[in-house]
């Protein structure tokens, strides 16, 4: 029984790796296709290329010593595919 679990783990890992290796060449073209469709549908909706988010981060530690704090955060998310002036070296495909 001690040998059964490691053997099953090895077989499962081998099968999973084999299946993922077969699908690996199709990953980039499929991703490009999905992203282009998503970009065309979102651009037709008039979505902004810059989104601003604001929130609060809470942290609390109870052990070994009680300690808690919170602070405000703000994030600006920029979609480089739809930015009006994208940098020349940005990483989008």
Residue 66 within any structural domain of the chain: yes
Confidence of residue 5 (pLDDT cuts 50, 70, 90): confident
- Residue 60 is predicted with a pLDDT of 93
Q: Which domain holds residue 32?
A: 4-78
pLDDT at 58 over 80: yes
**Domain presence at residue 88:** no
CA angle, 7 then 12 then 13, to 5°: 100
Confirm whether 12 is domain-assigned: yes
Residue 83 lies in a domain: no
60 in a domain, yes or no?
yes
For residue 79, how many C-alpha atoms fall within 13 Å in the half-sphere facing its CB?
13
Domain count, the chain: 1
Q: Is the pTM of this model over 0.85?
A: no
Is residue 86 situated within a structural domain? no
């Amino acid at each position: 029984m001690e040998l059964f679990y490691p053997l099953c783990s090895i077989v499962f890992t081998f099968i999973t790796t084999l299946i993922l290796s077969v699908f690996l060449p199709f990953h980039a073209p499929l991703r490009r296709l999905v992203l282009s469709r998503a970009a065309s549908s979102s651009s037709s909706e008039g979505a902004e290329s810059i989104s601003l988010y604001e929130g609060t981060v809470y942290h609390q530690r109870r052990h070994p010593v009680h300690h808690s704090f919170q602070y405000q955060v703000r994030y600006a998310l920029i979609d480089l595919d739809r930015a009006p002036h994208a940098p020349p070296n940005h990483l989008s495909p």
